[in-house]
Structure 1
Amino acid sequence: MSILNEPQGAAAAEGSYVDEQPVRRKQPGSSAVKWLTTTDHKTIGTMYLVTSFAFFLIGGVMALLMRAELARPGLQIMTNEQFNQAFTMHGTIMLLMFATPLFAGFANWIMPLQIGAPDVAFPRLNMFAYWLYL
């Protein structure tokens, strides 16, 4: 006796498989809506980290402007009042908009994985807290 093995490509070429799924395309903007309305702790943690890094860049630019102002005596870039405002905003941004959310982002991302939980206790409240931060 002999066994005939038909190549898998030949059966598919004849159209014998009826249960093939049609190709589905994503709706435009569906990934953005998915990211903005997610309750996944990893995605929310990533959003915290990305947003805090953006605030780090803003605070860093303010620090560069202040250091450029102090490079020489006299006024080069900013007035005294603008320098004081930039100094205060730099401190506030780096402390409240960068460092604190950075901790929250790492906690959101890592803590459920460390304790073996599938998700955080209140995922919608977690996302609401991110939107309050933003």
Structure 2
Amino acid sequence: MAMNRHMSNAQVCEQGCAAMCVLALRKPNNCKVIMDTGGALAAVQAMKTHPGEVNVQACMLLRNLVARTHDFSQTILEMGAEALIGQALASHRDCSDVGRAALRDLGCQVELRELWTGKKGGLSH
């Protein structure tokens, strides 16, 4: 409710997304409550309203909502999450890993890069 009332305030949106993100982590029952009460929709709206604010990009929240409960993926995608995450990836370097992980967990096509293959030498102490 606070996010909906104060959508123009980036700090309120940031804190609301952060709180829901923590509540959704590995808690399918909490994810259901967040979905049922419009939390995901508020987060997506916050991403639309504040595209320049890296801490309002709710990639981790969206990932947490679907990581253990894939039933919510289609609903979140219908809210426009895929395009918004793509926009966050393009605009904010800090969204790179979590944005790609969110897309993957939502069932979207995503290019994952292997950072180290171990082919050019071994590890040494």
Query: Do the two structures share a fold, i.e. TM-score over 0.5?
Result: no
Which structure has the higher relative contact order (CA within 8 Å, separation 6+)? 1
TM-score range, shorter chain: under 0.3
TM-score when scaled to structure 1?
A: 0.26
The higher radius of gyration belongs to: 1
TM-score when scaled to structure 2?
A: 0.28
